[in-house]
Chains A and B, each alone.
Chain A
Amino acid sequence: MKKILALALAAVMVFAFAACGSSKDSGTADNPAAAYDKYAKEFKTDGKSGTLTVALSPDFAPMEFYDIAKQGDDAIVGFDVLLAKYLAQELDMTLALKPMSFDACQAAVQTGNVDIAISGFSWTVERAENYELSDWYVAGDNETQQSIICLKENAGKFTKPEDFKGYKIGYQGASLQQVLVGETFGDMPDVDTSYVFVDLGTAVEALKAKQVDFLAVAHGNGESIMANDSNIDFTGFDFEVDDIYKNNVCLLQKGNTELLEKVNAALAKALSNDYYSGWYDASKVYAGVSTLDELGFDDEGNKITE
């Protein structure tokens, strides 16, 4: 009896102590973080005009995800993190990242718990009514290209909306894909669009278990999914995306127009200087979707420009 107790206690202590320290970097020859780190280091995120708290949901590679080799706020990486760092620098503020679930991000902004939510939000009518939405920013093809994925055996066979008659299409709830599926298949009773998932990971499981035949996803997320599962592929069908949906926006508390103006000014500067594509490519490499070579980086993470 004492032995069991002692063992249990020992186990508890080992874990508790181990939890305090540790973490080595998994240094590899070909460092996928190189390009990203280069961008991240350039930003000055300890400004003097107060703190900029940013809500994001870091389970959405390549837009925002975790790197376990890093510590604290640095462990949260991705395109939206670079944007947050850039905004903090432009506004001369100190950046504080607040990770939470996608739903909680909106509650956090609404209650004023954070200043701004940057988590791959698309523009929708409902959001525009209840929040101040920033001007759009470009998240590469993650937003401009919206696709439908399937198991490999169906790849390439479904290219127009009529092809999906008699099949089930799933999507993440409260997402742009839900809007697009509604617009494209809403008036086609033969297409079953009743499968709503709370997150993308669950949706992918349902696809693998053949509970749904197809999933509507942003192209960049689709690539992340395929990087981890060779059984999944694009159908070849892309949604027709209205310009208004093609980009992401930041969420601010209703009435917070002072910060909104500053954010919009910074976003306009980023757009005119074409910062976005470099950030997005670097994040894609980091998430394991593309390699440095494919996107034209050298080994130190410098973008090669002719």
Chain B
Amino acid sequence: MTLGSFLTNIINIMAKYWQVFLLRGIGYTLLLSIIAVAGGAFFGSIFALLKRSRIVVFKAIISAIVSVVRGTPMLLQLYIGVFVFPMIIPKLASLPYIYSVTIVLIINSSAYVSEIIRSGIEAVDPGQMEAARSLGLTQHTAMLSIVLPQAIKNILPALGNEFIMVVKETSLASTFFVGELMTSYLLVKGNTYLTMECLFIVGVLYFALTFILSKGLAAWERRMKAHA
């Protein structure tokens, strides 16, 4: 394999299959990532709140979910989501796999986000809470108007990193051909048997995606600091 033929192959592949990579692949990757992180932020917040609650049952359940999700490979979770969830929720069986895959991604993301939120809250100096309480604020008000605003500043950058992680993790969903970038790779490779060329193309696209995202997030972080 010479460099010349490698580049020619890439150009030929892109001329014929650009829609598969640029439209379908990137479209689905971003769609899945955005849903996963948005859902993760919502359920992750609930997880974090439940974990901080005084009810032991909630604490135990959430701890168990978070430990299992963080302690098993994503690919395994996807298999379970696609093949076991429909046994529990029969409605899922008649829907395309992308629904089960999305649910798994949201659960996975929720577990990580809940830890991000928990550590963000814990990173706020306990003195803040004590001072607020000694000034006569209730626990509830102190949490909402004193601790959480400071915690969010810790949480948001880490949430951005989680988004970048999820962009890459959606690639595992290609096992079920849901249409994201890695599926594009599988499809085009299956038609052309040109593996390295297709890998190179999706590699460049993944990098472009995460690079743009991380630069955007960095700019946003600087703005947040300036306004602090």
Contact = CB atoms under 8 A, between A and B. Distances in A.
Interface in A15-68: 15-16, 18-20, 22-23, 26, 51, 58-61, 65-66, 68
A36 to B, nearest CB: 14
Contacts, number: 110
A98 interface: yes
B212 to A, nearest CB: 5
A20 B24 CA distance: 8
B220 interface: yes
Interface stretch (A107-115, A153-161, A182-190, A234-242): A107-115
A200 B193 contact: yes
Interface string B1-43: 1000000000000001101101110111011000000000000
Interface residues of B, number: 44
Contacts of A225: 193
A137 B215 CA distance: 55
Interface in B197-226: 212-213, 215-216, 219-220, 222-223
Contacts of B176: 99-101, 104
A244 interface: no
B163 to A, nearest CB: 12
Interface string B85-124: 0110000011001000000000000000000000000000
A210 to B, nearest CB: 10
Interface in B169-198: 174-177, 186-187, 189-196
Nearest to B5: A231
B175 A104 contact: yes
Nearest to A7: B212
Contacts of B87: 111-112
B185 to A, nearest CB: 9
Q: Which 7 A-B pairs have the closest CB atoms?
A: A19-B27, A59-B190, A99-B177, A201-B195, A111-B83, A1-B219, A66-B187
